[in-house]
Structure 1
Amino acid sequence: MIRAAGPQRHGMLRAVSYVQLLLPDFSLILFGYLLCRYTPLNRSVWQPVESLVYYLLFPVLLFQSIVKSPINVGEATGLVVAGVGTGLCGVVLAYSLPHLPWLGRHIDRRDHAAAAQVAFRFNSFIVLALAERLAGAQGLLMVAVLIGVCVPLLNVAAVWPMARGGQQGFVRELLRNPLIIATATGLAANLLGFRIPPWLEPTVGRISAASLALGLMAAGAGMQFGLLTRSKLLSASVLTIRHLAQPLIAWGFAHLLGLDATQTSVLMAFCAVSTASTCYVLAARMGYNGAYVAGLVTLSTVLGVVSLPFALGLLR
C-alpha cells in the first residue's frame, strides 16, 4: 500500500502538470468561441482575423522560429522521419476507410472525400503554442521544421480525394500556401546563415506572440456544432485515427528511431493536437459539405483536450 502511494502521487502530479500546460491555450480557444457566439464580435469580425493570422502573422512566426537557431540536419532527421511516417500512416488509414468490407458500404464517398483530411491534418496554431510551452525556443524550431516538411505533403493528401471528383486549381493553391512559402524561405535563409537583425527582433517577436493568441481564439471562433450527427460512422472513424491511432503510431516511431525526450515530446504533441481549422475552408472551396467538416473540426478541437494528455502521458 505504501509503495503504491509514490507512483500514484507521481501520476496525479503529472496529470496536474498536463492540465496546467494545456489550460492557457484551450482557455483562449474557449474564449474565442464565447466571444463569437455571445457578443457582437461574431463571424464577421473573426473571418478577417483568421485571414490576418493565416496570411501574415503566422508566416512571420514560422519564419522567425526557423531562422532563430541553426538547424542541425543530423539531429532533425529522426524527428522529420517520425513526423512524416506518422502522417503517411494517417493518410493510408483515412484513405482505406471506404474499402474496408465491414465499414465501406456505410460511408458516403463524397462525405469521405471531404472528411478524410480531418484524420491526418493538424492545427498549426495549437501545436506551435504547445511546442513553446514544452521545449521553449528549441521546441518551436523543431515544430517549424516538421510543419515545413509535413504541411505540403498533408495538404496534397487532403486535396487529392476531392480533386478526383473533378475540381481543379489545387496545385496553384498549394504553391501559394503562405505556410509553405514561409517555411521554405525560412529553411533556405537558415541554411544560408541569415539571421533577423537585432533591431528588428522585438517587432518580429511581438508579431509572433500575437499570432499564437489570435490564432487560438480564431480556432475557437470557428467551431460549429451543427451536422455532427451526419455520417456517424465516418465521423467516429476519422476522429479515432486523429486522436488515438496517430499518437500511438508516433510513440512507436519515437521508440523505433530512438528520439530523445524533447524530440519525443514535440512529436507526440504534433501528432495529438486537433485537426486543422482550415479543413472546412478547403472542403467548402472545393464544392463539398463544408458545414459537416466544420462540425468534425469542432469535435476534434474538443477531443484534443483528452488526446493531448493521453499522448504526453505515453512518455512515462
Structure 2
Amino acid sequence: MDFAQLLFPDFSLILCGYLVCRFTPLDRKVWGPVEGLVYYFLFPVLLFQSVTKAPLDLAAASSLLGAGLLMALAGIAMAYALPFLPVIGRHVDRREHAGAAQVAFRFNSYIALALAERLAGAPGLVMIAILIGFCVPLYNVAAVWPMARHAQRGFLRELVRNPLIVATACGLVANLLGFSMPRWLEPGVTRIGAASLALGLLAAGAGMQFASLAAQKTLAVCLLTIRHLLTPLVAAGLVHAFKLDAAQASVLLAFSALPTASSAYVLAVRMGYNGPYVAGLVTLSTILGVFSLTFALGVLWAA
C-alpha cells in the first residue's frame, strides 16, 4: 500500500493553508472565525456521523476493544509522565506540555476511516468505528484535562462545553440505541464532514509557525516518539496478548501509527494555548505518519 499517497491530501491542505495565510490577503483575521466554525459545528457533525455510521457489535469486537483501550491508556500515561521524568522533565515547559500533550495520543480519524476500509473492507470500517466510538471520548477527556487544570478552569465545565466530546458521546449513545441517519439527511451531513476535514487542515496550516517548535524541541521529540514509535510497539504487544485475528491486528496496528488529530490545533487555540506550536507538531506528525504506518504494518505486523 502506498502510504505516502494516502497521507498526501492531508499534508497538501496543511501546506496550502500555510501558503494562503502567509502570501495572500487571507491572513489570520480570516482564519480565526474559520477555526471557530470548524470547532463548534463542522467537526462535531463529522464525529457524530462517523460514530453512528456503522452498527457496533461489542461482543464480537471485545478483544479488539480491550486492546485498543489499553493502548489508549498507555499512550496517555506516557504523555502525562514527560514533565516528571528525571532528565527530560527539566527541559519541558509545563504550560506548553499541557497544550501539546494531546499530540502524543490523539489520532486523525479521517485517515483512520480511509485506511481501515482499504485494509479490511466493510468489516474494517466496523472495527475502526468501535475504536473511534470508545477511544475518542477517552482521548478528548485526556486532552482537555491538563489544559483545564493548568489554566485553573473547571474540568467538568470544560468537558460538558467541549463540542467534540459532546458530539462523540451523543453519537455513541445513538449508535447503541440503534439510531441510523435518515437517507434524506445523509448527503448534507456528508458534505459538512468533507468541509470540516478541508477547513480544519487549512486552518492548521494557516496557524503554523515552525519557529515555535525550536523553543520546545525536547517536548516535540518526546511527543512524536510516543505517537509514532512507542504506541505502535505497545499495540504490537497487545496484538499477541489478546490473540487478535489478522483483520483485527491490522486495524489496531494502523490505529496505533496514525498521525495525530488535526483538530488538536483547534482545541489548543480554543483553550488559550500555543496554537502555532501544536500546528507545527500536527504537520510533523502527518509527515512521520508515512513512516510509522509503514513500520507498524510492514514490520510489526509481519513479525
Q: What interval of TM-score do these two structures reach, taking the shorter chain for normalisation?
A: 0.7 to 0.9
TM-score by length of 2: 0.83
Unaligned runs of 5+ in 2: none
Q: Which residue of 2 aligns with 1:270?
A: 255
Aligned counterpart in structure 2 of residue 151 of structure 1, from 114, 136, 142: 136
Q: Which residue of 1 aligns with 2:301?
A: 315
Shift of 1:269: 3.0
Matched, 1:85 2:55: no
Q: Which residue of 2 aligns with 1:101?
A: 86
Matched, 1:70 2:19: no
Q: Which residue of 2 aligns with 1:238?
A: 223
Unaligned runs of 5+ in 1: 1-13
Task: Give the aligned residue type for 2:79.
Answer: A
Matched, 1:168 2:115: no
Task: Give the aligned residue type for 2:228.
Answer: H
Give yes or no for contact 1:148–1:179 (8 Å, CA) kept in 2. no
Shift of 1:238: 1.6
Aligned counterpart in structure 1 of residue 101 of structure 2, from 116, 119, 123: 116
State the distance in 2 between where 1:209 and 1:284 align: 22
Percent sequence identity over matched residues?
68
**Cα distance per residue 1:179-199 (max 9 Å; x no partner):** 322232222222222222233
Task: Give the aligned residue type for 2:20.
Answer: L
**Cα distance per residue 1:197-234 (max 9 Å; x no partner):** 23333333333333334444444334321221113222
Give yes or no for contact 2:38–2:196 (8 Å, CA) kept in 1. yes
Structure-to-structure mapping, 1:1-316, within 5 angstroms: 14=1, 17-135=2-120, 138-165=123-150, 167-283=152-268, 286=271, 288-313=273-298, 314-316=300-302
> How many residue pairs end up in the alignment?
301
Task: Give the aligned residue type for 1:124.
Answer: S
Residues 309, 180 of structure 1: alpha-carbon distance in 2 compared, 3 angstrom cutoff: same
SS in structure 2 at match of 1:73: coil
**Cα distance per residue 1:124-173 (max 9 Å; x no partner):** 34434444554555444433432332233223323333444461133222
State the distance in 1 between where 2:15 and 2:244 align: 33
Shift of 1:240: 0.9
Residues 116, 205 of structure 1: alpha-carbon distance in 2 compared, 3 angstrom cutoff: closer
